[in-house]
Amino acid sequence: MQSMFACGCTSEEYVTRRLWLKARPPEECPYCSLKGLECSLVLHGYYDRVHPKGARVRRYRCTRTGRTVSMLADCLASHSCGDVDTMERIAKQREEKSSFGKIAAGVARRLYRPEQPIEGPLRWVKRRVSAVGGFLAAVVSLRPEELGGVEPTVTALRAHLGSERVLVELRHLAGAQLAGLDPPLGLRPRPLNAVLVPGGRFHKARGYRGPPGVRDAPD
């Protein structure tokens, strides 16, 4: 399960300042609180993200169920490579009528190897533009008091909220409802079979960081 960590910075700052070390668990365990049970969440290491390189996500473990809670920074995509600001930027470019091919070429230079065929970055861009559109429409409908009548576009919501980081703002505005929205912007868990597809692209590096001997270490 993922819970949002309000780091209040870009993904580059998150890596440079090693802010995962400051991530604290929720006040209530998401597994036990709904059942009226009490437990404690203890430090359970971290995992490495594939992109942005050097980013890590802190994890805590429920002492009653043994299940973990990952404290995902608000600047990072959920269950997917990349960061939220990149998604907002390419969605804004698409709203300004930039072609998918032009946007994909820019993404390829930044995120992919030089020999990577453009089809991969093109699919990456199209999926994320679609995800941003769905997320904006969902949050606008969920929060009519704050967003009623606002067009669900990056441009309109930037003007309404007075922010250049609309997706991060909306993640916080959605609050607990974020757990019911689809990744890469919502925190709804992916189906198990989506993780087991052969050849699937992982959003985190394989391997576990935090064996019992160092589970409580800061890094």
pLDDT for the residue 34: 77
* Whether the Cβ atoms of residue 186 and residue 132 lie closer than 8 Å to each other: no
Q: Is 161 exposed, middle or buried (0-12, 13-18, 19+ CB in 10 A)?
A: middle
| 62: nearest Cα among 35, 38, 36, 34 | 38
Cis peptide before 198 (omega within 30 of 0): no
Strands 68-73 and 56-62, sheet pairing:
antiparallel
The 10s digit of each residue's pLDDT in 93-110 is: 999 999 999 999 998 888
Could you tell me whether strands 2-5 and 56-62 are parallel, antiparallel, or unpaired per DSSP bridges?
unpaired
Does residue 113 register a pLDDT over 90?
Answer: no
* Residue 217 pLDDT: 40
pLDDT at 123: 94
Band the pLDDT of 205: cuts 50, 70, 90: low
Residue 211 has pLDDT above 60, yes or no: no
Closest CA to 108 of 100, 117, 96, 95: 117
Would you state the pLDDT for residue 204? 56
**How many Å apart are CA 162 and CA 150, to the nearest integer?**
13
* Mean pLDDT estimate for the chain: 87
Strands 2-5 and 68-73: parallel
> pLDDT (tens digit, 9 = 90+) per residue, 7-22?
989 999 999 999 999 9
SS percent in the chain: helix, strand, coil, step 5 = 45, 15, 45
The confidence band for 3, taking pLDDT boundaries of 50, 70 and 90, is: very high
pLDDT at 115: 81
Q: What is the pLDDT of residues 39-87, one digit of tens each?
A: 889 999 999 998 889 999 999 999 998 999 999 999 999 998 889 999 9
pLDDT score recorded for residue 191:
65
Q: What are phi and psi of 208, to 5 degrees?
A: -110, 130
pLDDT tens across 150-169, in order? 999 999 999 999 999 999 99
Q: Is 138 strand, coil or helix?
A: helix
Determine the Cα–Cα distance for residues 142 and 138; give it in Å rounded to an integer. 6
pLDDT tier for residue 36 given thresholds of 50, 70 and 90: confident
**Predicted confidence (pLDDT) at residue 134 exceeds the cutoff of 70:** yes
